[in-house]
A and B are shown apart, each in its own frame.
Chain A
Amino acid sequence: MITQRDSFWNEIYQQAKTDRDIIIVSADMGAPSLDKFRTDFPAQFVNTGIAEQNAILVASGLAKEGKKVFVYAIASFLTLNCIEKIRVQNGMMNIPINIVGIGAGFSYPDSGPTHHLSEDIAIMRSIPNITTISVTDHHMSKKLAQSYKDFDHTHYIRLERQPIGELYKTCEAVNLDKGLHEIIEGQDHLIISNGNLLFKCKEILREKSLNFGLCDIFRYPLNINELEKVVKKYKKITTIEETFLPGGLGSSILEALSDLGIQMEVNRIGLDTKKGYCYQYGGREEIHKYYGIDKDSLISKLST
């Protein structure tokens, strides 16, 4: 299965054939799909070295003058190291760039917590004029690459590093404006998740024959009108996320329900800040065990 990253950059390569204003600014981040771009369109590829803050600034300068810029690096560095640059240039000035970060959640399981992406949702979604997309599969990343011309503000695109599954059968099945997709209609109990854990939830519901609903919420700010249509069919919600709980997916759902005036039971499952940062190795599932979001723990939590 193609990675979200390669699907994204392959499509950008196609677009760049006819759009010379597409510029990739990389903070020394490569990919096989990017090598082709760099070889064939060297004038449209800028490498800043491992200098993410400068990469955001240069990207913003280029975009201010009309270029369509994709700035690329490991997601935790590109967001957390650069947050004030993003806040001023892209939040306050509303200079539209595309911040393409690789390494959603524990995509780098062997690299330790510096590479884990566990706070970005809370931080990025608090900045005005920025849309965050937590990409679900390679169809969605391709759809994003096709849609760049319509973006009039900054998009933060967080990509998984390895293939994690295929949810949408085609690009056309992805509705970016809607920002969510009710994958499974169930009874009473709705599971809300995204990214890697969404696939795990889908697997659990199938294996355990649990008649729960399952919703992929991949865009922040949330589309609360669409959310309302889904949640009003249920009595209870469980949110499952691969980020620290404060400000994350579950938090955003609680805010939305409050804004909608909907009172219902919500359980949030995610990374507990009391557990701190994780130095476990041996794969993503081992890290999930540390935080109690591994498959067995989720089965136990969802079955009670």
Chain B
Amino acid sequence: MIKNDLESKCLFLRKKILEVCLKAETGHVTSSLSCVEILVTLYYKGYLNINSKDLEDDERDRFILSKAQASPLLYLILADLGLYDMKELDHFAQKNGMFGVHLQHSVPGVETTAGALGHGLGLAAGIALRAKMDRKLYMTYTLLGDGELYEGSIWESMMFASHNNLNNLVGIIDRNYLCTTDFTENLVELEPLTEKVQSFGWNVVRIDGHNLHAIDNALKNLRARPSRKPTMLICDTVKGKGLDVMSFKPLCHGVPPKGEDAKKAKKQFYL
């Protein structure tokens, strides 16, 4: 798929995220918009090899969406890849729908039930460790939110993964600088984040998380295990990327725009 197609895919998914959440009157619009380019690169550039005919194929790459509030995006991608009908998204978080606001492992292509933060990295470390034990070649990727980094278990898992040389594990931090009530640096400073993660023994690559080319470059050689250590991509992003009414604003977590803001949002996304 050429780059222009990926950009088109990002635009398509952004529109669908807004559309789905507006219809459901719930869902984490901003948390999904910040990681569109990351997931598009993983799923459409061949980094996540999944076998759509056998979703339990032991050779498949694993993706653990630890920041499960981005579920609308993942659910849309898995539908787009043909694992179920896109029409299922019409019932997002509705009665008799197949999914809710957070993540559930009963959905085809979804590895875990999630919603409580601080779980994904440790679980992914266990999955990656098993690959080492059994000489399996699959990669394990996990996407963390930056707000999730306040959970202590993340740092337990970070130490563990580097100590065990889990170079088949790739952590990706969606560094969108916003929690629910305020910017991260006003809550409790996360920076200097690169140095913190490095000091836990990880290779760290810090990039613009909305630059498809940069994400692609950062992921490109990791399957070849260029280092003994696991790699963390810190992706600087904008929470609510593309949606002016919800970008750079606290208190926009977990809700779709309403009233005039909804009209502006729809106009901006050509809905």
Chain B hits for A84, CB < 8 A: 116
Query: Could you tell me how many residues of chain A have their Cβ less than 8 Å away from some Cβ of chain B?
Result: 26
Within 8 A of A (CB), among B133-192: 133-134, 152-153, 156-157, 159-160, 164
Closest partner residue, chain B, to A23 (CB atom): B133
Interface centre among A49, A64, A65, A93 (most CB of B within 10 A): A65
Check B156 against A93 for contact (C-beta < 8 Å). no
Check B119 against A54 for contact (C-beta < 8 Å). no
- Classify chain B's interface size: 20 to 34
Check B116 against A61 for contact (C-beta < 8 Å). no
Docked pose: A85 CA to B114 CA in angstroms: 10
- Name B129's contact: one of A56, A58, A85, A89 (CB within 8 Å): A58
Check B123 against A89 for contact (C-beta < 8 Å). yes
- Name A54's contact: one of B112, B131, B133, B157 (CB within 8 Å): B157
Closest partner residue, chain A, to B140 (CB atom): A61
Q: Count A-B pairs with CB separation below 8 Å.
A: 87
Whether a CB of chain B sits under 8 angstroms from the CB of A66 is yes
Chain B hits for A48, CB < 8 A: 156, 160
**Minimum Cβ distance to chain A for residue B100 (Å):** 12
Chain B hits for A54, CB < 8 A: 122, 125, 153, 156-157, 160
State the main secondary structure of chain B at its contact with A: helix
Within 8 A of B (CB), among A210-230: none
Closest partner residue, chain A, to B118 (CB atom): A53
Chain B hits for A63, CB < 8 A: 126
Docked pose: A46 CA to B122 CA in angstroms: 13
Chain B hits for A266, CB < 8 A: none
Check A51 against B119 for contact (C-beta < 8 Å). no
Docked pose: A85 CA to B128 CA in angstroms: 18
Within 8 A of A (CB), among B49-87: 58
**Minimum Cβ distance to chain B for residue A232 (Å):** 41
Closest partner residue, chain A, to B115 (CB atom): A88
Within 8 A of B (CB), among A45-87: 46, 48-49, 51, 53-54, 56-67, 84-85
Docked pose: A61 CA to B152 CA in angstroms: 18
Chain B hits for A56, CB < 8 A: 122
Whether a CB of chain A sits under 8 angstroms from the CB of B220 is no
Check B116 against A59 for contact (C-beta < 8 Å). no
Chain B hits for A59, CB < 8 A: 126
Within 8 A of A (CB), among B101-128: 105, 111-116, 118-119, 121-128
Check B130 against A88 for contact (C-beta < 8 Å). no
Docked pose: A213 CA to B153 CA in angstroms: 47
Q: 15 extra interchain contacts, Cβ-Cβ under 8 A, other than A65-B130, A85-B122, A93-B112?
A: A46-B164, A49-B159, A54-B125, A54-B156, A54-B160, A57-B119, A57-B125, A60-B123, A61-B124, A61-B125, A61-B129, A65-B127, A67-B130, A88-B114, A89-B123
**7 A-B pairs with the lowest CB-CB distances in the bound complex, closest first:** A61-B126, A57-B122, A54-B156, A51-B156, A58-B126, A65-B130, A61-B127
Can you report 25 residue pairs joining A to B where beta carbons are below 8 Å apart? A23-B133, A49-B156, A51-B159, A53-B118, A53-B152, A53-B153, A54-B153, A57-B123, A57-B153, A58-B122, A58-B123, A58-B129, A61-B122, A61-B123, A61-B125, A61-B129, A62-B129, A64-B111, A64-B123, A64-B126, A64-B127, A65-B58, A65-B127, A67-B133, A88-B113
